[in-house]
C-alpha cells in the first residue's frame, strides 16, 4: 500500500469530508473519512501508481526515440 505523509493524509481526509458534504449532504467524521481513504488507497492506489509508471515509460521511450533520431542526424558516415 502507498504510504502518505501525515499532512497529506489530513488534507485528503478534509477533502473527503468536503466532498461528502457537497455531494451527499453528509459530514462523515474523521474516523469514517480515514476508513474511506484507506479503502481507496488499498483498492486504487496500486492501479494509479502503475498507470503513472506506464505514462512515465511511454514518455521516456519517446524521448529516447528523439535522442536516437538526433544522433542519426549527426552521424557522418
For residue range 34-43, what is the model confidence (pLDDT) as tens digits?
A: 999 999 999 9
- The 3-state DSSP class for residue 28 equals coil
pLDDT of residue 13: 97
Domain ranges of the chain: 6-74
Cα(first)–Cα(last) distance of the chain, in Å? 52
In the chain, which residues have pLDDT < 50? Answer: none
With beta carbons less than 8 A apart as the criterion, state whether 9 and 37 touch: yes
Amino acid at each position: 500500500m502507498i504510504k502518505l505523509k501525515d499532512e497529506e493524509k489530513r488534507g485528503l481526509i478534509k477533502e473527503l469530508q468536503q466532498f461528502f458534504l457537497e455531494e451527499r449532504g453528509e459530514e462523515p467524521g474523521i474516523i469514517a473519512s480515514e476508513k474511506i481513504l484507506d479503502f481507496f488507497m488499498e483498492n486504487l492506489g496500486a492501479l494509479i501508481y502503475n498507470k503513472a509508471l506506464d505514462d512515465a515509460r511511454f514518455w521516456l521511450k519517446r524521448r529516447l526515440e528523439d535522442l536516437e533520431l538526433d544522433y542519426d542526424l549527426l552521424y557522418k558516415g
